[in-house]
Amino acid sequence: MIPVLLILVPLLTGLTSFFLKNERTVRSWALFASLVTLAVSLLGLTLLKDQQYLFFQAEWMASLNSSFSVRLDGMGQILCLLNAVAFPLIFISTWRSNYPKANNFFALMLLAQAGMMGVFLAMDALLFYFFWELALIPAYFLCSQWGGPKRIQVTFKFFIYTFVGSLLMLVGILYIYFHTKDTSFDIASFYKASLTAKEQTWLFWLLFIAFAIKMPIFPFHTWQPDTYEQSPTATTMVLSGVMVKMGVFGVLRWLLPVLPDASWAWGDSVSTMAVAGMIYASLIAIRQDDLKRLVAYSSIAHIGLMCLTIFSVNNIGMQGVMIQMFNHGINIIGLWIVIELIERQFGTRKISELGGLAQKAPAMAILFVVIALANIALPLTNAFVGEFLMFTGIFTSTVTKYNIWFTVLAGLCIILAAIYTLNLIRKVFYGNTVELTVNTSDIKLNEKLALGIIVVLIFWAGIYSQPFLDVTKNVSTDVTNSILDKPEINKYLRK
Amino acid sequence: MQNALQIAWLIPLFPLLGFLINGLGRKHLSKSAIGVIGSGVILASFVMSIWVFLQVKDGNTHVADYFNFISVGDLSIPFAFQLDQLSSLFLLIITGVGFLIHVYSASYMHEEKTEHFGRYFSYLNLFVFSMLLLVMGGNYVIMFIGWEGVGLCSYLLIGYWFKKAEYNKAANKAFIMNRIGDLAFLIAIFWIIKKVGNVNYHDVFQFAGENKFSTADITGITLLLFVGATGKSAQIPLYTWLPDAMAGPTPVSALIHAATMVTAGIYMIARSNVLYSLSHTTMNIVAIVGLATALLAATIALKQNDIKKVLAYSTVSQLGFMFLALGTGAYVAAVFHVMTHAFFKALLFLGSGSVIHAMGGEQDIRNMGGLSKKLSVTYFTFLVGCIAIAGIPPFSGFFSKDAILLSAFEKSPVLYGIALFTALLTAFYMFRLLFITFSGKFRGTHEQEHHLHESPAAMTIPLIILAVLSIIGGFVGIPEALMHGGDKLSAFLSPVIKPHEGTPVSHSTEYGLMALSTVLVIAMIIAAWFKFRNYQRSEAAGFGKVLENKWYVDELYDKIIVNPLNKFGGFLNSFIEKFVIDGVVNGVGRIVNYSSRQLRLLQSGQVGSYIFLMVLSMLVVFVLQFFLRK
C-alpha cells in the first residue's frame, strides 16, 4: 500500500485544502500533510530493505489495457524521498511568506507533489502521462497566479514549452502502445515493444525532446530562468528541486530501456548537446546579476551533466546520476531559501545592489556558503560523491569514443561554477554593507531549522554515502544493462 | 592483532574538533580559551605524529582502512590512511611548524574581536586538518579531499578580512586557480580508475611496477597530476594566486607558504615517484617548468617593495627548485628542501609579521630601514632565515639546495647553470630585503618610529625555535661526500622512494660545485650590502619597471582569458539567449496565439485554464473509473 499512500496523502490533503478558509489553518494543514507523506516515504525505505520493490496494481481502464500499477523501486524511492523531504522544507522555510488565497496556493502545491509522486511510481505509460500532467498543471497556475510582475508572458512561454513537450510525449507513447505485442500500456510490454531502427530514431527524438524540455537541456531551456525568476520562491523550489528530476527520471525509466538501440545510436549527439549546454549555461551564469537567474543557469549546467552521464551508459555514472538527483534537489532548495530571505528583506535580488551581508547576518552567510560550496561539489559534501561518480562514468564510458573530450569540456564547468559561485558570495555577503543592507536582520528559527536539516543531509551524504548508494544499486545496474547487454550493441562496445 | 597505527585517525581528528569547538563557540569562548584550544589540538596532533614517526622508524608502516567512502559496482574507494616514511615526515612538518604558527597567531591576532578571533582559529585548524588528510590519505581520492580542502581553507583565510573587496578578490583568485589544477588532478584520477580499477596507492604502484601502463597512459596521468601540482604549488602557469594570497593575515601566509598547501604538489609527486620515474617526457617537463618558475619568480622578487611580496615570490621560486629536483629524479632532495624551506620560510614570514606588527601595519620596505636596533630578536632570526635560504653552509638551506643543484648538474650542465644563477638571485633579493628593512636610516613617519618595539614572547619564541631549526635542520641530509652515512634522510625514505639513480659525480667535482656556489653566494651578499645598506628611495625605470610589475603576467591573463570569457558570456546572454532561442520560441507562441484567436474556440483566451479543466475532468473520469470498476 505504500506506493498508493505516497500519492493519495498529498492528493487528498491537497483537495481538502481548497476548502479551508483560514490562512494559518491551511498552512499548518499543508505542513502536517507533507510530514505524513515524509513518514510514509521513510516507512517505504525501511520496507524496501528486505524486498526489491513494493508493488500495487489495480484494474483501471481494462478496455485500453491500462492499469493503475505503481511500484516503488530504488530509483523511485530516492526520488519519492526527495519529493517527500522537499515539501516540509519548503513549507517550514516559507512559513513567513504570505500568499493571497492561501488555500488555493497550498492545495496546488500539494497536488503538484501528488502528481510528481505518481510520475516516480507509475508502471503504466498512460498512468505516467496522466501524472505528468497532474504535476505540471498546478505548477502552471502557481506561477501564473502568484508570480512576479512579468508572470503573464513568462507563464505563456512556460506553457508553450510544456504543451509542446507533452504533446510529443503523448504521440510517442501512443505509437509505442500500438506496437507492443499485447497492445498494452504496461511498462513490461513497452520494454519488449518491437520497433524498427527507423521508428526508434524518431520516437527517441520525440520522447527525448519532451524530457529535455523538462530537465531542461540546451536549447530547450529558455523557459526555465524566466519561470524560476517570476514564480513565487516556494514554487521555484518545487520546480527546480523536484520537478526537473521528472525529465531525468523519464529518460532513465522510459527512454533508455524502451528505445535502447536509438539511445545508443544517438548517444553522442545528445551528449554533445548536453555538454554544449553546460558550458553555455555556465558562461551565462557568470554574467547574471539576478540571484534567481544565476542559480537557474547553474542548475541547467548541473542537469546537463546528469544528461551527459546518462548517455555515457556506465554503471558507476548511472549510480552517480541517481544519488545526484537527490543531492541537487536538496542543495538547490537550500540556495532558494536564502534567496527568498534576501528578496523578502530587501525587495531586490540584484547582486549589484547588495553587499556585506556577512557582517549583519553571519548565520545566514555561513549556511549559504556551506550550501553553495556543496553546490560546486567540494569534497565531503554530497554533490562531490555524485559528481565524482558521474565524471568517472563519463570518462570510463564504453559507448563513446569522445569520452575524454566530454570529460574535459564538462570539467571546465567545475571551474566556471567556482567562478560564478564565489563571485556571488563575494558580492552579496562579503565587502562592506551598502545603504540597503545596513539594517539586515539574521535568519529566524524556522529558516535555521530548514537550512540546518539541509546542511546535515549535505555532510551525511558527502561523508558516508553508502546508504544512499545502496538504495539505487539494483536499478542503476538494470538501466545500464538494458543497453549494454543487448547483443547488437554489446559487440560495438569499446573495451 | 590490530596494528597500533590504526589509531592514527586521532591525528586529523584533533584539529577537526578544534575547528568545531572554536567555530561554534566563537561567541561564547574567551580569546585565551580559543587560543589554547586552537594551539592545543595541533600540539596533540604533533605529539601523536612524533609517536607515529617513531613507530615508522622502527619499521612499522601501515595502511589503516576505516570505512567505504564510495563503493559502486567494482569500484571501491576506502576511507584509508597510509602511514609510512613519507607521510610521517610530512606529519611532523605540518603539525610541528603548524603548532608554532598557531602559538604566534594567538599573540599576533590579539587585536581582533573575539568572534573573529574564534573564526580565525577555526579556519586555521581546518587548514591543518585538510593538510593532514592530504598527506595521510591512503589513496588518490582521500588525497584529493585534503587537496580541495586546503584550497577552501586558503580561500577562507585569504579573505579573512572580508570587508576589504581586494582581499576577497585575492581569495577568489586563489580558489579558482587551484580549481583549474584540481580539474587536471581529477581527470588523472579518472584515468587511473579506468586503467587500474581503483585508486589505492599500493595497487596503482604495483600496476605501474608490472609495466602495465602504456607510455601514453603513464605520460597522460603523470602530466595531469603535475598540472594539478602547478595549481597548488604555484608553478607556471598557475602561480599568480600565491603572491596575491598575502592578503590574509601574516601567520596565514606562513602557514600557506611553509607548512601546508604549497608543499602539497611536491608531496603528491614524491608520493607518485613510481609513476613519474616511468615517464621521461613528464620528468623533463617538470624539471623545465620548475626551473623556469624558479628563475621567473626570482627576477620578480628583485624589484618588489612589499615585504610579504618578496617572500611570496621567493616561495614560488623555491618551489620551482623543488620541482626541478623532482624532474631530475631527486625526489628525496625535493622533500628535503620542503622540510628546510618549511623552517626558514615560516621563520621569514613570521619575522615579517613581527616587523609589520611593529610598524603598525606598514608593509612597504621603502618606509622602513634601521629596524635592527629596535627589533633585535626579529633581526637576528630574520638574518638566520636569509642565510639559510641563501644557502650558506652549514645552515639548512645549503644542504637541501646543494642536493638539488647536484642532481641538476648530473642531468645537464645547462640546467645546473640556470639553477645556480637563480640561487644567486635568491641570495641577492633576500639580502636586499634584509638590508633595506633593517639597515640604514629609518624612513617611516615619526609616529611609527615612536611606536617601534620588539614583539611579545609568544611571537619571538616561535621565531627563535624556527631559527634554530633553520640552522640545524640540514644535518639530516649531509651529502656522502662530506660525511659517510650522513644522508640519513635518503636512508629513511628509501622504502618509499627508491635511491636516486643518476650518473654519479666524483667527490672532487662535488666539492668544487659546493665551493663555487658558496663563494658566489657570499659575493652576491656583499654586492647587496654595498648597494642597499644605505637605501634611498628611487623609482624603478626601464626593465626594472617590467620586473616591478611582475612581467605583466596578471594583465596578460586578464587580456587573453578573463576578459574574452566575460565578453563571450555577455554575448551568449544578451544575444543568443534573448534573440535567437527565445525568438524561435516566441515565434511558435505567436503562431499558437494567432491561430487560437482565429479559431475563437477558446473564448476566454486563457489557454491554460482550458487545459486545466480538461485534465481535471480527465482526472475525475479516471478516478471514477478506478472506483467503479467491477
Summarize pLDDT for B541-576 with one digit per residue, the tens.
778 888 888 888 888 888 888 888 888 888 888 888
Q: CB of A110 within 8 A of CB of A13?
A: yes
Are residues A244 and A325 both part of a single domain?
A: no
**Mutation site, B72, B79, B622, interface A, largest A CB count within 10 A:** B72
Q: Which residues of B, range 221-260, sit inside 8 Å of A by Cβ? A: none
Check CB contact under 8 Å for B588 and A62.
no
- Contact with chain A for residue B149, Cβ under 8 A: yes
Summarize pLDDT for A61-82 with one digit per residue, the tens.
888 888 899 999 889 999 999 9
Q: Rounded to whole angstroms, what are the CA distances from B224 to B233, B337, B357, B599?
A: 14, 23, 41, 63
- List chain A residues with CB under 8 Å of B193: 392, 395-396
Retrieve residue B21's grid coordinates. 569547538
How many domains does chain A fold into? 2
Check CB contact under 8 Å for B629 and A58.
yes
| pLDDT-based confidence at residue B610 (cuts at 50, 70, 90) | low
Backbone angles phi, psi at A54, to 5 degrees: -110, 135
Are residues A295 and A229 both part of a single domain?
A: no
| pLDDT-based confidence at residue B538 (cuts at 50, 70, 90) | confident
Q: CB of A400 within 8 A of CB of A406?
A: yes
- Contact with chain B for residue A431, Cβ under 8 A: yes
Single out the residue of B571, B540, B543, B353 nearest to residue B454, CA to CA. Answer: B353
3-class DSSP assignment, residue A298: helix
pLDDT of B46 above 50: yes
- Contact with chain A for residue B60, Cβ under 8 A: no
Q: Exposed, middle or buried, B441 (CB in 10 Å: 0-12/13-18/19+)?
A: exposed
How many residues in total does chain B contain? 630
Are residues A85 and A186 both part of a single domain?
A: yes
Give residue B584's pLDDT: 76
Single out the residue of A26, A29, A25, A48 nearest to residue A37, CA to CA. Answer: A29
Retrieve residue A393's grid coordinates. 562514468
**Mutation site, B26, B27, B70, interface A, largest A CB count within 10 A:** B70
Are residues A316 and A434 both part of a single domain?
A: yes
| pLDDT-based confidence at residue B384 (cuts at 50, 70, 90) | very high
Summarize pLDDT for A219-259 with one digit per residue, the tens.
888 889 989 989 999 999 999 999 999 999 999 999 999 99
CA contacts within 13 A on the Cβ side of A207: 29
Q: Which residues of A450-488 are buried (b: 16+ CB within 10 A; e: fewer)?
A: bbebbbebbeebbbebbebbebbbebbbbbbbbbbeeee
CA-to-CA distance for A275 and A408, rounded, in angstroms? 10
Give residue B602's pLDDT: 45
Chain A: give the shortest CA distance to residue B576, in Å: 10
pLDDT of A341 above 70: yes
Check CB contact under 8 Å for A418 and B179.
yes
Chain A: give the shortest CA distance to residue B217, in Å: 13
Give residue B134's pLDDT: 95
pLDDT of B373 above 90: no
- Contact with chain A for residue B581, Cβ under 8 A: yes
- Contact with chain B for residue A378, Cβ under 8 A: yes
* Verdict on whether the full-model pTM lies above 0.90: yes
Check CB contact under 8 Å for A160 and B180.
no
Q: Please give the interface size between A and B, counted as residue pairs whose CB atoms are below 8 Å apart.
A: 165
Summarize pLDDT for A100-136 with one digit per residue, the tens.
888 999 999 999 999 999 999 999 999 999 999 889 8
Q: What is the mean pLDDT of chain A?
A: 91
Give the orientation angle of helix B582-599 with respect to helix A151-178, to 10 degrees. Answer: 80
Are residues A249 and A301 both part of a single domain?
A: no
Give residue B13's pLDDT: 95
Q: CB of A278 within 8 A of CB of A206?
A: no
Chain A: give the shortest CA distance to residue B76, in Å: 11
> Domain spans of chain B?
312-538, 549-599, 605-630
Summarize pLDDT for A386-443 with one digit per residue, the tens.
999 999 999 999 998 899 999 999 999 999 999 999 999 999 998 888 888 888 888 8
**Mutation site, A11, A156, A469, interface B, largest B CB count within 10 A:** A156
* Residue of A283, A319, A426 with shortest CB distance to B168: A426
**A62: closest chain B residue by CA:** B629
Averaged pLDDT for residues A19-27: 90
- Contact with chain B for residue A381, Cβ under 8 A: no
Check CB contact under 8 Å for A287 and B573.
yes
Summarize pLDDT for A437-481 with one digit per residue, the tens.
888 888 889 999 999 999 999 999 999 999 899 888 888 988 998
- Contact with chain B for residue A158, Cβ under 8 A: no
Q: Exposed, middle or buried, B484 (CB in 10 Å: 0-12/13-18/19+)?
A: exposed
Q: CB of B305 within 8 A of CB of B364?
A: yes
Q: Rounded to whole angstroms, what are the CA distances from A19 to A13, A15, A110, A281, B317?
A: 10, 8, 14, 42, 74
Q: Which residues of B, range 549-568, sit inside 8 Å of A by Cβ? A: 565-566, 568
Q: Which domain holds residue A430?
A: 274-495
> What number of other Cβ atoms are within 10 A of residue B106's Cβ?
21
CA-to-CA distance for B84 and B415, rounded, in angstroms? 32
> What number of other Cβ atoms are within 10 A of residue B560's Cβ?
10
* Residue of A222, A389, A392 with shortest CB distance to B585: A222
Strand partners, A124: A186
Are residues A226 and A300 both part of a single domain?
A: no
Q: What is the mean pLDDT of chain B?
A: 88
Give residue B630's pLDDT: 43
Q: Which residues of B, range 162-191, sit inside 8 Å of A by Cβ? A: 162-165, 168-169, 171-172, 175-176, 179-180, 182-183, 186-187, 190-191
Are residues A355 and A259 both part of a single domain?
A: no
Averaged pLDDT for residues A13-29: 91
Check CB contact under 8 Å for B73 and A465.
no
Are residues A359 and A216 both part of a single domain?
A: no
Q: CB of B313 within 8 A of CB of B395?
A: no
Q: Rounded to whole angstroms, what are the CA distances from A405 to A5, A297, A408?
A: 45, 22, 5
Are residues A298 and A257 both part of a single domain?
A: no
CA-to-CA distance for A216 and B290, rounded, in angstroms? 45
- Contact with chain B for residue A162, Cβ under 8 A: no
Summarize pLDDT for B166-175 with one digit per residue, the tens.
888 899 999 9
Are residues A78 and A160 both part of a single domain?
A: yes
Check CB contact under 8 Å for A415 and B190.
no
CA-to-CA distance for A19 and A9, rounded, in angstroms? 16
- Contact with chain B for residue A466, Cβ under 8 A: yes
Are residues A227 and A294 both part of a single domain?
A: no
Are residues A286 and A418 both part of a single domain?
A: yes
Q: CB of A431 within 8 A of CB of B163?
A: yes
Chain B: give the shortest CA distance to residue A47, in Å: 22
| pLDDT-based confidence at residue B621 (cuts at 50, 70, 90) | low
